[in-house]
């Protein structure tokens, strides 16, 4: 077997000095020039005069902001599934299938060969940062457990496939990593999530697992199943995977899960490291400690721009580069990538916590704000407040969803309705009332608009909280056909039909 650890050290020896001296602004300008040159002959490149664009300012003037729906209608729909020289040169061989968390509308995100290579490089950088923190690492001496969706890809036409991002990644695992990939292909291909988890959990206890990657909520469910199969009373990863070094996580805010992960990691020498990978590209990753921000990947096929969230939808929104972005401002992420997305609003929001090098915190989604009554709450504010409320009653939240309840008649007020699943059932009305009160207080302390609406009960009634039994959200996701590692429980639900569906289900699963 190839000495992968030697290869990692060799790569890190070159990569770490590059990162230490990197000029983010210059790197981003170079990326944009390269992307424009490669795509100048495409239909999109000709339409927007890529061949004569020489500056970032000129690029912004010629290429307006677009969302997925715009690209689909204007450039992708008529040629799908065979996009050739459309918005990226050559044939697009892969499409990453994703769906709106609240709407369920299927999206097909182009994933070029260049993007596949960029994602592989990003994964290598994750290992480089781990090596920098753990110089004596043995992470490549064992297996990397990937808790993703099915790796089975659908063939649309010869040489063109679609599927989960994890499936595209599995189909393109570099040669040096193939012997270390887990689970085996016959399990990875399973479309049934529950069967896949069961078989993967059993087999993993016989494997030398040194790293694990996945969404926090699904990882915790997986750990519970592995512990049950192991037997005994231990809920420590060191007893399940004694050589585990790294848990790579992403997809949702980690804060509500941190306490539970700390419990699982008791006695283990493994570290957690966050990745910010979207269907449109690998954007950032933790290069320092947890909660210290994610370092943007500025030299890996993505040109990044940042638009103040309040300006989205205005005729001329301000578009900042990494060199122009300010600390503490809530920005919508816009990217141009090596797969044919240009000035593309991906729907995520971030705040910069440092500029040299550029590091961000993911604050939520542009479409996931809760402002049915003018309260202007964002994901991060709700996440932090739910975490504070759970700490108040000494509990851990597994998952939750929140949506607006509108006034039903004269003299009534609106409110927010939370459906919460705890790690262990609270089933105590007094504790649940304390949870709701602390949640309300934390939101008011975090957000002035919310505090104003709650002042004297003038605009909003206190939040209502319903507890559902452990495992209920997984069952609800299963009933919706959304069970699996690539799917996330919708935290903020503004869709009235979806919220009604969840409330109807919750009535049968509530503990009080």
Q: Is the domain of 383 the same as that of 277?
A: no
Is residue 338 in some structural domain?
no
Q: Is the domain of 402 the same as that of 255?
A: no
pLDDT band of residue 101 (cuts 50, 70, 90) is very low
182 bridge partner residues: 145
Q: Is the domain of 287 the same as that of 419?
A: no
CA torsion sign for 343, 349, 353, 359 is negative
Is residue 323 in some structural domain?
no
Per-residue pLDDT reduced to its tens digit, 404-433 = 998 776 667 889 999 999 999 998 999 999
- Render the burial of 173-190: b for 16+ CB within 10 Å, e for the rest: beeebeebbbbeeebbeb
Per-residue pLDDT reduced to its tens digit, 107-116 = 899 999 999 9
The residues, ordered by sequence, that sit 6+ positions from 40 with a Cβ below 8 Å of its Cβ are 46, 50, 51
Q: Is the domain of 264 the same as that of 386?
A: no
Which stretch of 253-262, 322-331, 344-353 has the lowest confidence by average pLDDT? 253-262
Maximal CA-CA distance, the chain: 74
Is residue 244 in some structural domain?
yes
| Angstrom distance (rounded) from CA 33 to CA 53 | 9
At residue 311, does pLDDT exceed 70?
A: yes
| Angstrom distance (rounded) from CA 351 to CA 367 | 16
Question: Which CATH number does the domain housing residue 15 bear?
Answer: 3.40.50.980
Cα 270 to Cα 11, 210, 222, 248, 447: the distances in Å are 22, 9, 17, 10, 36
- Render the burial of 282-295: b for 16+ CB within 10 Å, e for the rest: bbbbbbeeeeebbb
Which stretch of 372-376, 409-413, 436-440 has the lowest confidence by average pLDDT? 409-413
Q: Is the domain of 157 the same as that of 293?
A: yes
At residue 59, does pLDDT exceed 80?
A: yes
Q: Is the domain of 163 the same as that of 251?
A: yes
163 burial level (CB within 10 Å; 0-12, 13-18, 19+): buried
| Angstrom distance (rounded) from CA 425 to CA 125 | 40
Question: Which CATH number does the domain housing residue 406 bear?
Answer: 3.30.300
pLDDT band of residue 102 (cuts 50, 70, 90) is very low
Half-sphere exposure of 490 (CA within 13 A, CB side): 25
Over range 163-176, report the average pLDDT. 84
Q: Is the domain of 248 the same as that of 160?
A: yes
| Angstrom distance (rounded) from CA 106 to CA 272 | 31
Greater confidence, 481 or 127?
Answer: 127
Is residue 291 in some structural domain?
yes
The total of structural domains in the chain comes to: 2
Cβ(35)–Cβ(294) below 8 Å: no
Is residue 149 in some structural domain?
yes
Cβ(147)–Cβ(190) below 8 Å: no
Q: What's the pLDDT at 457?
A: 57
Is residue 331 in some structural domain?
no
| Angstrom distance (rounded) from CA 365 to CA 382 | 12
Cβ(112)–Cβ(146) below 8 Å: no
Strand-by-strand arrangement of the 154-157 sheet: 106-111, 94-99, 160-163, 154-157
- Which of 284, 300, 316 terminates a domain? The answer is 300
Is residue 128 in some structural domain?
yes
pLDDT band of residue 86 (cuts 50, 70, 90) is very high
- Render the burial of 354-369: b for 16+ CB within 10 Å, e for the rest: eeebbbbbbbbbbebb
Q: Is the domain of 294 the same as that of 412?
A: no
CA geometry: angle 75, 80, 81, nearest 5 deg? 145
Cβ(503)–Cβ(465) below 8 Å: no
| Angstrom distance (rounded) from CA 453 to CA 476 | 32
- Which of 243, 266, 300 terminates a domain? The answer is 300
Per-residue pLDDT reduced to its tens digit, 245-267 = 999 998 777 877 788 899 999 99
Q: Is the domain of 294 the same as that of 391?
A: no
Cβ(260)–Cβ(396) below 8 Å: yes
Q: Is the domain of 37 the same as that of 181?
A: yes
User: Which of 95-109, 276-290, 402-416 has the largest mean confidence?
Assistant: 276-290
Cα 132 to Cα 14, 135, 294, 449: the distances in Å are 12, 6, 16, 43
- Which of 300, 315, 340 terminates a domain? The answer is 300
Is residue 367 in some structural domain?
no
155 bridge partner residues: 161
| Angstrom distance (rounded) from CA 195 to CA 479 | 16
Which stretch of 26-35, 223-232, 321-330, 352-361 has the lowest confidence by average pLDDT? 223-232
Token readout for 145 is 């457990």
SS3 annotation, 484-512: CCCCCCCCECCCHHHHHHHHHHHHHHECC
Host domain of residue 206? 1-300
Q: What's the pLDDT at 341?
A: 98
């Amino acid at each position: 077997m190839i000495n992968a650890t030697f290869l990692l050290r060799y790569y890190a020896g070159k990569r770490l000095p590059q990162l230490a001296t990197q000029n983010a602004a210059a790197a981003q300008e170079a990326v944009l020039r390269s992307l424009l040159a490669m795509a100048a002959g495409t239909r999109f490149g000709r339409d927007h005069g890529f061949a004569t664009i020489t500056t970032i300012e000129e690029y912004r003037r010629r290429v307006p902001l677009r969302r997925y729906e715009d690209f689909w209608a204007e450039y992708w729909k008529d040629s799908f599934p065979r996009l050739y020289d459309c918005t990226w040169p050559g044939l697009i061989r892969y499409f990453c299938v994703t769906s709106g968390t609240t709407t369920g509308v299927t999206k097909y995100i182009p994933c070029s060969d260049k993007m596949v290579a960029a994602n592989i490089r990003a994964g290598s950088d994750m290992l480089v940062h781990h090596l920098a923190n753990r110089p004596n690492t043995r992470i490549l001496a064992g297996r990397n457990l990937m808790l993703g969706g099915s790796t089975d890809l659908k063939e649309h036409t010869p040489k063109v496939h679609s599927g989960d991002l994890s499936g595209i990644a599995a189909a393109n695992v570099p040669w040096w990593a193939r012997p270390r990939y887990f689970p085996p292909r016959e399990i990875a291909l399973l479309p049934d999530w529950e069967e896949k988890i069961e078989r993967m959990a059993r087999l993993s206890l016989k494997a030398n697992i040194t790293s694990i990657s996945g969404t926090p909520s699904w990882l915790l469910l997986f750990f519970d199943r592995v512990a049950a199969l192991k037997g005994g009373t231990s809920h420590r990863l060191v007893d399940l995977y004694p050589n585990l070094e790294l848990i790579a996580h992403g997809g949702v805010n980690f804060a509500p899960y941190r306490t539970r992960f700390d419990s699982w990691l008791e006695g283990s020498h493994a570290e957690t490291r966050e990745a910010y990978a979207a269907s449109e590209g690998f954007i950032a990753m933790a290069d320092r400690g947890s909660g210290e921000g994610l370092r943007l990947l500025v030299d890996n096929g993505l040109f990044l721009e940042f638009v103040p969230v309040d300006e989205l939808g205005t005729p001329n929104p301000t578009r900042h580069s990494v060199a122009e972005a300010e600390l503490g401002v809530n920005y919508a992420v816009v990217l141009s990538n090596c797969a044919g997305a240009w000035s593309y609003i991906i729907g995520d929001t971030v705040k910069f916590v440092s500029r040299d090098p550029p590091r961000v915190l993911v604050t939520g989604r542009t479409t996931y704000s809760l402002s049915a009554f003018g309260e202007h709450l964002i994901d991060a504010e709700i996440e932090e407040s739910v975490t504070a409320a759970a700490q108040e009653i000494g509990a851990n939240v597994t998952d939750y969803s929140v949506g607006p309840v509108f006034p039903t008649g004269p003299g009534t007020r609106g409110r927010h309705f939370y459906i919460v699943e705890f790690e262990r059932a609270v089933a105590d009305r007094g504790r649940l009332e304390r949870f709701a009160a602390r949640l309300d207080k934390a939101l008011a302390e975090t957000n002035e608009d919310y505090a104003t609406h709650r002042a004297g009960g003038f605009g909003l009634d206190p939040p209502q909280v319903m507890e559902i039994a452990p495992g209920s959200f997984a069952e609800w996701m299963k009933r919706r056909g959304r069970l699996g590692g690539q799917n996330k429980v919708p935290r903020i639900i503004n869709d009235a039909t979806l919220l009604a569906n969840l409330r109807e289900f919750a009535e049968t699963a509530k503990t009080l």
